[in-house]
Chain A
Amino acid sequence: EPEVTQTPSHQVTQMGQEVILRCVPISNHLYFYWYRQILGQKVEFLVSFYNNEISEKSEIFDDQFSVERPDGSNFTLKIRSTKLEDSAMYFCASSARAGLSTDTQYFGPGTRLTVL
């Protein structure tokens, strides 16, 4: 069964460093998302992406964050200058079509980001 994959599974970085989290969505999906979950807190929406542009973003997704689909298979989240509070599990998700009420989002296993 097709699945969303994410690399790396765990990333440790120093405060102020740039990190890139990578995702490979399900191959025929058109809509892509990033969410994050700080330990012990709710899963929070960061950004949605369709047709090579951001369709919606949350207040969390400030100028330090960017997303890109550099080729036909990868979807990346870049954090330019990491802060301690960016430590979280980051989930990538994809869906076939966001325009249908039957559309299911499929989540990857997550990347645990630890900022020291």
Chain B
Amino acid sequence: KQEVTQIPAALSVPEGENLVLNCSFTDSAIYNLQWFRQDPGKGLTSLLLIQSSQREQTSGRLNASLDKSSGRSTLYIAASQPGDSATYLCAVRPLSAGGTSYGKLTFGQGTILTVHP
């Protein structure tokens, strides 16, 4: 059964710092991996999707990497801002038997990020 773990559970940094959030998963048979942002009491906003064949993906100040063989992904946030404060969730989409995937996502518990001015 796929398990997804994120560390640290919480992170507090001053504005302007570069930071790294970590995600690990137990089964390397994945279809893709998505990073989401969740603001308090709100829905999930997709930030980046990395296909299983990719090593990294970039969007603005965000860079996500994937090492499928070791079961790890990192989300790098450059020059953090107070508006980046949120919970960041990592989710993997496993491969089903036969190499297909119906889209089910398995989530980590999230990293709560606080960026203070």
Contact = CB atoms under 8 A, between A and B. Distances in A.
Given A33-B103, A43-B89, A102-B49, A108 B43 contact: yes
A82 interface: no
A8 B103 CA distance: 25
Contacts of B34: 104-105
Contacts, number: 69
Interface stretch (B21-29, B69-77, B104-112): B104-112
B44 A43 contact: yes
Q: Which of under 10, 10 to 19, 20 to 34, or 35 or more describes the interface residues of A?
A: 20 to 34
Contacts of A58: 104
26 contacts: A33-B103, A43-B89, A43-B91, A43-B107, A44-B107, A45-B104, A48-B104, A50-B102, A55-B102, A91-B43, A91-B44, A95-B103, A101-B31, A101-B32, A101-B51, A101-B101, A102-B32, A103-B32, A105-B103, A105-B105, A106-B46, A107-B43, A107-B44, A110-B42, A110-B43, A112-B41
